[in-house]
Amino acid sequence: MDVYNEHTVSLLSTLSSFIAIALENAKLFEETKKLATTDSLTSILNRRALEEAFQKEVMRAQRYNRPFSAMILDIDNFKLFNDTYGHTFGDEVLKTVASILKKSCRKVDILGRYRGDEFSIILPETPIEGAKKLAERIINNLKNTPILTPQNNKIPLNISIGIASYPFDTLEPEKLLTLADTVMYKAKTS
């Protein structure tokens, strides 16, 4: 006597089809979610996802009265890289910088591409001193990473960094990115 009759086999076949469709839909949902939150070039958070994470950190810092810092980083003379060596080379520079930033950050830090050649890092539970230490680590890591032109010439890679910290620089944490951006531009022009 067969344990599975024709009806049971049909039912199991239909059920397995539904399970396969559900698994495929879950996979597609995760892929879509990643595309919506990740910068396609650098594989770090895009600006929208970064701003959402920033707002969550603002709420957390205010609720628990905890410090946090924000950094804006800009690649100096990036337009010159694109104009001299082409946009493909510029894309490689962006990927390299994103990789260095990722390696420099702690796991709890939130890294994203802010716009163009600018990046932002949100540093939860981090007062200004901790943010300055990260900036030093990033600068050292950049110095130790050669950037090679298509002709295999080493070129220096410099960045300007702006840091703002709650409550050190402002009692309004929602202003941190704007303050960090202003400090970064001052650093760039000096």
Residues carrying an active site annotation: 117
Angle at 152 between CA 99 and CA 84, to 5 degrees: 80
Residue 71 φ then ψ, to 5°:
-125, 140
141: nearest Cα among 187, 111, 104, 110: 104
Residue 43, helix vs strand vs coil: coil
Residue 118: phi, psi to the nearest 5? Answer: -110, 140
d(CA 49, CA 147): 29
Q: Omega before 150 cis (within 30°)?
A: no
Between CA 99 and CA 59 the distance in angstroms is 28
On the CB side of 116, CA atoms within 13 Å amount to 8
Question: In sequence order, what E strands does 45-136 have?
Answer: 68-75, 110-115, 118-124
